Amino acid sequence: MAGLLSQYAIGVVAAAAQSNPPNHALGGQLTQGVNLRLEHPQAFNAIIGLILVVQLALVLGMAGVLSRVVISGGILYEHERELRRRFVD
């Protein structure tokens, strides 16, 4: 599969190189861009901080839920121990 994908990629590059016209555009470097100026940077920082706090609360909530995971059965007990080891402990 990797061989077919690499052959396809080489073919696409070769076809693009053959079909592109040899014209060159004259002129200077493009100067278009975006310049961001914040009127209230404290509000921006507060929004980012709020997002981080919400994400931390969600992670801690999921850790609490995972700490109560109980899987019954003999073979599945190893999976429960693995889940607890990876995500809770």
pLDDT at 75: 57
The verdict on residue 2 lying in a domain is no
CB under 8 A, 24+ apart: contacts of 18-22: none
The verdict on residue 82 lying in a domain is yes
- pTM score: 0.42
- pLDDT of 60-89, one tens digit each? 999 888 888 766 655 566 677 777 788 776
Domain count for the chain: 1
Neighbouring residues of 84: CB distance < 8 A, sequence distance ≥ 6: 66, 67, 69
The verdict on residue 72 lying in a domain is yes
Which secondary structure element, helix H or strand E, spans residue 39, and what is its range?
Answer: none
The verdict on residue 47 lying in a domain is no
The verdict on residue 80 lying in a domain is yes
pLDDT at 79: 73
**Residue 48: is its pLDDT beyond 70?**
yes
Provide the CA 39 distance to its chain's centre, in angstroms. 29
Longest dimension (CA), the chain: 74
Report how far residue 12's alpha carbon sits from residue 73's, in angstroms, rounded to the nearest whole number: 54
**Residue 7: is its pLDDT beyond 80?**
yes
The verdict on residue 52 lying in a domain is no
Look up the domain containing 86 and give its range: 61-89
The verdict on residue 78 lying in a domain is yes
